[in-house]
Amino acid sequence: MKIYTIIKFLQTNRVRLIIVINLIFFGSHPFISYSQDLYNLEHSLKYAEYLFSSQQYSLAAEEYERLVFFDRSNTDFKYNLIRSYRLSGDLNSGIKHIYLLYGNSLDTMPQILASEFVKLQLLTDSLSVVENFVNQKNKLSVENKAIFQCYSLLLSSNYKKASLLAKDAAVSYPAFPSAVIKLTQKATDIKFKSPFIAGSFSAIIPGTGKFYTRNWTDGIFSMLFVAGNAWQAYRGFSEHGIKSAYGWTFATLSASFYIGNILGAVKAAKRYNKNKKNEIDNQIFEFVRSDSF
């Protein structure tokens, strides 16, 4: 009975009129509430720009992904997406999206995206990829290729070649970054320490290998400790003869620290060299992370 009553109600002209009016209104305004939708193109762009300007790069990347989905042909969207990944430190996601966007056609990338691709590869220490890409035909400028080659050579510890390349590029391109020239010169001026020489010094005079690597405190400690134990061993043997337990105890300690001081000097030289290289590498990474070029 109730169902019959409802059907009769819907059949009245008044209800029909109301339904037709609503269909016309909502049919002509299908997106009446869409202006409040934060996921449309206009709002996503504004929100992405806000996030990027406030250095919320991870969130900005999410918004730029949405924008690329809206308009895959927009180079600015793609560039800002990859740049957001680089600045957020999510380097692998940036590289992955470049391959998703361009696949095997990396040579067709606009210059700004080609530059971002190389920066990401440098920051992930993928020097072979950098070398292959820079030497291929693509839309990178000749000047940028020279910059990236200098950085790749520096990261591979080929400092002299990087310095020569930077000087030649500075002559050919007046706008070539002075920071690159200074960095290559700084790297060339580094005097790396020889682990063999450090070990030899400590073998002759304990502690001097550490002096060679500028570890003054460790050097003094090694020298005094080896010498002190050797002196105690000498006293023990002098007072109690060759069978002196006291003498042998300190002789063993002295020999152990003597060998350890040689090995420590070798490690100190390697550590010194690594720290110097890291200084250069960190400056490169700092420059590449920036938007200076």
Whether residues 275 and 182 fall in one domain: no
93 in a domain, yes or no?
yes
What pLDDT does 219 receive? 83
Calculate what percentage of the chain has a pLDDT beyond 70.
Answer: 86
In a domain, 293, yes or no: no
Residues 6+ apart with CB under 8 A from 232: 246, 247, 250, 254
Q: Indicate the average pLDDT of the chain.
A: 84
Q: What distances in angstroms separate CA 244 from CA 228, 247, 249, one per listed residue?
A: 17, 5, 9
- 279 domain residue, yes or no: yes
The token duo for 119 is 């920066």
Q: What was the pLDDT predicted at 101?
A: 93
Quote the CA–CA distance of 292 and 205 in Å, as a whole number. 50
CATH code, 102: 1.25.40.10
Q: Are residues 68 and 117 in the same domain?
A: yes
User: What is the arithmetic mean of pLDDT over 164-172?
Assistant: 93
Q: What is the Cα Rg of the chain in Å?
A: 35
Q: Are residues 25 and 39 in the same domain?
A: no
Statement to judge: residues 62 and 128 lie in one domain:
yes
- Structure-block tokens of residue 253: 């300690």
Give tens-digit pLDDT for 208-265: 988 989 888 888 888 887 888 778 777 777 877 887 787 778 778 778 878 888 899 9
Tell me if 58 sits within 8 A of 90, measured CB to CB.
Answer: yes
Predicted model pTM: 0.75
Structural domain contains residue 291: no
CA distance 136 to 139: 10
CB 176 within 8 A of CB 169: yes
Domain count, the chain: 4
**Domain that includes residue 97, residue range:** 31-136
Burial class (CB in 10 A: 0-12, 13-18, 19+), 146: buried
Do 148 and 131 contact (CB within 8 A), yes or no? Answer: no
Q: Are residues 181 and 203 in the same domain?
A: no
Residue 288 lies in a domain: no
